[in-house]
């Protein structure tokens, strides 16, 4: 290898930084919008006031913010007259051009020297409080030295004039930074009258919307409403002395009525209650507002979080636990640290500790409310049942409140879990609302099983926690278990039952494409007015969808169980099917009333089980109804053709009793071996109001 091709070693060299590239990263990946430059400048000004106070100097701090009209070629240059206008020479040189407007922020804080400017303004990543303020770091809003760069989101140039407060005769120096990565420092042509700093940002025409007087005022109030510093906003045509942005008392220090007005303004609702929140060890304080309407348990809208009074985020979800989705909070983050963008909090151990403590406080507040002000607790429970359940799942005390007082839907009416446990000695639940609707009455009628509807958010997890805490048996009820409670038909009806079951299997053979056809069984169960129930279909994939995606989904599932259609031997319609199936001719054929009746019972049982009908089932229902209507017309002796474009045929002259009507009490025995209409037998319970028929 030719060693002459290897370069000589050099000393340490600096990375080359493309400032425009960094600004693009800030705008697209760090900050939520260009508007944040206003917040960054206010933060720097507030920190400058804090730094000067730490020097022990007696003075009255202030922050003045000026908005100049867009298009003013003199905007952004010269000195502050205190009236919102600018005078003086062009500090940048060259011909003036129209601009998108100018924002200037002036403070009488600690100020900067030329060396400070090189270290703090021209070094990316250096904190403007790095050395002299390290011991009092928690008093400052800014934690990173990139805040000033946010001004390049709207401008190509930043002008800073500053005079240090550390020495009485410090000169005023000027720093002019450009988006191309260069800067200049030189003595200011127009000295400041007192220590402090003036930052001038002249927006590009394409960024004019971010610096209009109206938007600037709204931004200042939105970001700095609770900042404990005197801030004034000067706008063209505004008061000569500026408009004070009065430091408002935060909502956690207001009474309920005043705090509710803040909630209405910030969140858009009137709270029905409020929860005091405080973590003194971390300097966190705030208030949680209980929402006055339903809230989605899967989405927390977020909270307004401040750091030393400056808004960090209006949709923060880091502090208040997700289980409290019915609460919107306003919080001072205290000692918690912001991220580089200052739009979120650093995810660390302190944040985790704070979140756990706030979770505990919300839970204990609910417990106290239930004991001391039960009417207020009931109001919250009615609106936010799922939210309280979600919290109770992880807190034994609140779980006890829910166990004793919250009513759950059962197949014997609404009742607390404590009553269910007392009556049944166990917790038996159904995890689907639709399945519960289909089996509730049947389960009660067969054997008195007390079922809990656990088909809503957090219910199953809550039942598991309750079963563990109170040492109760817990089991999920499956609809298929009903089949074991059904009785066999009388032996005398065996032949008719066998024929109907065979005809039913034949009629349903093509109802489940790609799978074995449903089984058909005749059984006796209560209540008699339920003609059929579908078992073994809870995990069926028939509802996966149509087309290629539905087929793909189906192939990815485990083989679906073969459904079983159980028809009720006691039901009058089934009794008529048994009678028709015992004969011969068209009625017993594959396109006769027996086949169509079985298909209709199958579709009806699907609906009762809460299953979505696919195209095939809907077509079957239409075909069966059409065929039965045609057969009914034929039974009436009508010779009219089916209805066509000219309208339906005229009604028949007479209408004999329907063949599906109940047999006369004195008539011949039916194939089931009974005479007369079916009805409740001795010992049969009255129909439960939740029965699906």
Residue 256: its H or E element: helix 256-267
- Same domain, residue pair 106 and 207: yes
Q: Is residue 91 part of a domain?
A: no
At 690, the pLDDT band (50, 70, 90 cuts) reads: very low
- Same domain, residue pair 431 and 566: no
Residue-range definition of the domain harbouring residue 331: 251-377
| Digit-coded pLDDT (tens) for 564-595 | 899 999 999 999 999 988 876 556 556 688 88
Residue 273: its H or E element: strand 273-279
- Same domain, residue pair 266 and 236: no
Q: Is residue 669 part of a domain?
A: no
Identity of the highest mean pLDDT range in 346-350, 530-534, 686-690? 346-350
Q: What pLDDT is recorded for position 292?
A: 95
Q: What pLDDT is recorded for position 481?
A: 75
pLDDT at 3 exceeding the cut of 60: no
Q: Is residue 691 part of a domain?
A: no
Last residue of a domain, one of 632, 651, 671: 632
pLDDT at 638 exceeding the cut of 60: no
- Give the lowest-confidence range in 296-305, 373-382, 633-642: 633-642
E runs forming strands in 59-214: 63-68, 79-80, 86-87, 102-107, 155-163, 172-178, 183-187, 196-203
What pairing do the DSSP bridges indicate for beta strands 231-234 and 63-68?
parallel
pLDDT at 171 exceeding the cut of 50: yes
Q: What pLDDT is recorded for position 64?
A: 96
d(CA 344, CA 318): 8
Q: What pLDDT is recorded for position 516?
A: 80
Mean pLDDT of the chain: 79
pLDDT at 132 exceeding the cut of 70: no
Per the listing, tokens 């024929």 go with: 499
Q: Is residue 666 part of a domain?
A: no
- Same domain, residue pair 200 and 149: yes
pLDDT at 303 exceeding the cut of 70: yes
Is 357 among the annotated ligand-binding positions? no
pLDDT at 39 exceeding the cut of 50: yes
pLDDT at 17 exceeding the cut of 70: no
- Give the lowest-confidence range in 451-460, 558-567, 659-668: 659-668
Q: What pLDDT is recorded for position 124?
A: 63
Query: In CATH, what number is assigned to the domain containing residue 356?
Result: 3.30.230.80
- Same domain, residue pair 361 and 416: no
- Between 404 and 122, the more confident residue is 404
Last residue of a domain, one of 246, 273, 304: 246
- Same domain, residue pair 463 and 426: yes
Strand, helix or coil for residue 230: coil
Is 107 among the annotated ligand-binding positions? yes
Residue 516 in contact with residue 478, Cβ under 8 Å?
Answer: no
d(CA 420, CA 429): 11
Residue 18's Cβ-side half-sphere holds a number of Cα atoms within 13 Å equal to: 4
pLDDT at 21 exceeding the cut of 90: no
**How many domains does the chain divide into?**
4
Q: Is residue 82 part of a domain?
A: no
Bridge partners, 303 (sequence order): 316
- Same domain, residue pair 153 and 278: no
Q: Is residue 125 part of a domain?
A: yes
- Same domain, residue pair 352 and 425: no
Instruction: Identify the burial level of 328 via C-beta atoms within 10 angstroms of its C-beta, where 0-12 means exposed, 13-18 middle and 19 or more buried.
Output: buried
Residue 227's Cβ-side half-sphere holds a number of Cα atoms within 13 Å equal to: 30
- Same domain, residue pair 604 and 473: no
At 613, the pLDDT band (50, 70, 90 cuts) reads: confident
Q: What pLDDT is recorded for position 588?
A: 58
- Same domain, residue pair 215 and 258: no
Q: What pLDDT is recorded for position 29?
A: 67
Q: What pLDDT is recorded for position 470?
A: 96
- Between 552 and 443, the more confident residue is 443
**Residue of 123, 132, 202 whose CA lies nearest to 164:** 132
Q: What pLDDT is recorded for position 181?
A: 81
Identity of the highest mean pLDDT range in 141-155, 485-499, 511-525? 485-499
Query: In CATH, what number is assigned to the domain containing residue 608?
Result: 1.20.120.790
Identity of the highest mean pLDDT range in 24-33, 293-302, 312-321? 312-321
pLDDT at 545 exceeding the cut of 60: no
- Between 600 and 143, the more confident residue is 600
pLDDT at 16 exceeding the cut of 70: no
Q: Is residue 401 part of a domain?
A: no
- Give the lowest-confidence range in 271-285, 349-363, 496-510: 496-510
Among residues of the chain, what percentage have pLDDT more than 70? 75
- Between 100 and 359, the more confident residue is 359
- Give the residue-averaged pLDDT of 4-27: 66
pLDDT at 131 exceeding the cut of 50: no
Residue 362's Cβ-side half-sphere holds a number of Cα atoms within 13 Å equal to: 31
Identity of the highest mean pLDDT range in 148-152, 245-249, 254-258, 609-613? 254-258
| Digit-coded pLDDT (tens) for 654-665 | 444 433 333 333
- Same domain, residue pair 427 and 571: no
**Residue of 242, 81, 307 whose CA lies nearest to 318:** 307
Q: What pLDDT is recorded for position 173?
A: 97
| Digit-coded pLDDT (tens) for 409-444 | 999 999 999 999 999 999 999 998 888 887 888 888
Q: What tokens were used for 622?
A: 């239409």
pLDDT at 469 exceeding the cut of 60: yes
Last residue of a domain, one of 456, 477, 498: 477
- Give the residue-averaged pLDDT of 271-297: 95
Q: Is residue 385 part of a domain?
A: no
Is 411 among the annotated ligand-binding positions? no
Among residues of the chain, what percentage have pLDDT more than 90? 47
Bridge partners, 523 (sequence order): 568
- Could you check whether the bond before residue 527 is cis, i.e. omega within 30 degrees of 0? yes
Is 206 among the annotated ligand-binding positions? no
Query: In CATH, what number is assigned to the domain containing residue 194?
Result: 3.30.565.10
At 538, the pLDDT band (50, 70, 90 cuts) reads: low
- Between 29 and 144, the more confident residue is 29
- Give the residue-averaged pLDDT of 214-240: 91
**Residue of 556, 526, 529 whose CA lies nearest to 544:** 556
Residue 297 in contact with residue 387, Cβ under 8 Å?
Answer: yes
- Same domain, residue pair 233 and 300: no
């Amino acid at each position: 290898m030719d060693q002459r091709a290897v370069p000589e070693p050099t000393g340490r060299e600096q990375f080359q930084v493309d400032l425009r590239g960094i600004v693009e990263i800030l705008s697209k990946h760090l900050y939520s919008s260009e508007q944040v430059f206003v917040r960054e400048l206010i933060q720097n000004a507030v920190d400058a006031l804090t730094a000067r106070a730490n020097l022990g100097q007696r003075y009255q701090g202030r922050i003045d913010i000026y908005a100049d009209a867009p298009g003013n070629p003199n905007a952004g240059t010269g000195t502050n007259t205190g009236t919102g206008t600018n005078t003086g020479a062009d500090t940048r040189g060259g011909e003036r051009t129209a601009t998108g407007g100018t924002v200037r922020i002036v403070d009488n804080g600690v100020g900067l020297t030329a060396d400070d400017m090189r270290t703090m303004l021209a070094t990316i990543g250096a904190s403007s409080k790095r050395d002299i303020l390290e011991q009092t770091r928690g008093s400052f809003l800014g934690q990173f030295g990139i805040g000033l760069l946010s001004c390049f989101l709207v401008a190509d140039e930043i002008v800073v004039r500053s005079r240090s407060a550390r020495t009485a005769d410090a000169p005023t120096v000027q720093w002019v930074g450009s988006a191309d990565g260069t800067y200049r420092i030189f003595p200011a042509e127009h000295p400041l009258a007192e220590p402090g700093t003036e930052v001038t940002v002249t927006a590009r025409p394409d960024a004019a919307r971010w610096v209009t007087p109206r938007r600037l005022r709204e931004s200042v109030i939105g970001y700095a409403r609770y900042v404990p510093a005197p801030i004034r906003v000067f706008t063209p045509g505004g008061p000569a002395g500026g408009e004070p942005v009065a430091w408002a008392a935060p909502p956690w220090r207001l009474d309920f009525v005043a705090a509710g007005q803040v909630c209405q303004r910030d969140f858009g609702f009137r709270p029905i209650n409020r929860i005091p929140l405080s973590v003194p060890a971390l300097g966190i304080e705030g208030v949680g507002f209980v929402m006055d309407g339903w809230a989605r348990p899967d989405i927390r809208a977020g909270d307004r979080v401040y750091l030393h009074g400056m808004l960090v985020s209006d949709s923060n979800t880091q502090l208040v636990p997700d289980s409290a989705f019915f609460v919107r909070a306003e919080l001072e983050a205290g000692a918690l640290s912001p991220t580089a963008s200052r739009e979120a909090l650093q995810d660390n151990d302190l944040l985790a500790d704070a979140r756990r403590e706030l979770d505990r406080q919300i839970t204990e507040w609910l417990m106290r409310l239930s004991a001391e002000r039960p009417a207020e607790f009931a109001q919250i429970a009615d609106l936010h049942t799922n939210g309280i359940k979600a919290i109770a799942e992880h807190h034994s005390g609140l779980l006890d409140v829910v166990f004793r007082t919250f009513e759950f839907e059962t197949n014997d009416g609404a009742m607390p879990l404590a009553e269910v446990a007392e009556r049944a000695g166990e917790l038996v639940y159904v995890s689907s609302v639709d399945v519960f609707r289909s089996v509730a009455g049947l389960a009660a009628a067969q054997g008195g099983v007390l079922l809990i509807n656990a088909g809503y958010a957090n219910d199953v997890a809550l039942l598991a926690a309750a079963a563990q805490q109170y040492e109760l048996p817990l089991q999920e009820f499956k609809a298929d278990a009903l089949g074991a409670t059904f009785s066999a038909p009388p032996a005398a009806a065996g032949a008719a039952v066998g024929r109907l079951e065979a005809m039913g299997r034949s009629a349903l053979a093509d109802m489940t494409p790609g799978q074995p056809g449903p089984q058909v069984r005749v059984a006796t169960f209560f209540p008699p007015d339920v003609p059929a129930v579908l078992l073994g279909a809870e995990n069926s994939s028939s509802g996966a969808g149509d087309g290629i995606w539905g087929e793909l989904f189906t192939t990815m599932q485990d083989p679906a169980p073969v459904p079983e259609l159980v028809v009720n031997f006691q039901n009058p319609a089934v009794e008529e099917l048994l009678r028709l199936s015992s004969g011969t001719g068209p009625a017993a054929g594959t396109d006769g009333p027996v086949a169509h009746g079985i298909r209709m019972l199958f579709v009806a049982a699907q609906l009762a089980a809460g299953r979505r009908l696919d195209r095939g089932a809907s077509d079957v229902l239409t075909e069966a109804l059409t065929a039965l209507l045609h057969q009914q017309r034929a039974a009436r002796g009508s010779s009219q053709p089916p209805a066509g474009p000219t309208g339906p045929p005229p009604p028949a002259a007479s209408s004999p009793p329907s063949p599906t009507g109940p047999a006369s009490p004195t008539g011949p025995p039916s194939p089931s071996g009974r005479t007369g209409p079916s009805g409740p037998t001795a010992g049969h319970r009255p129909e439960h109001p939740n029965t699906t028929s």
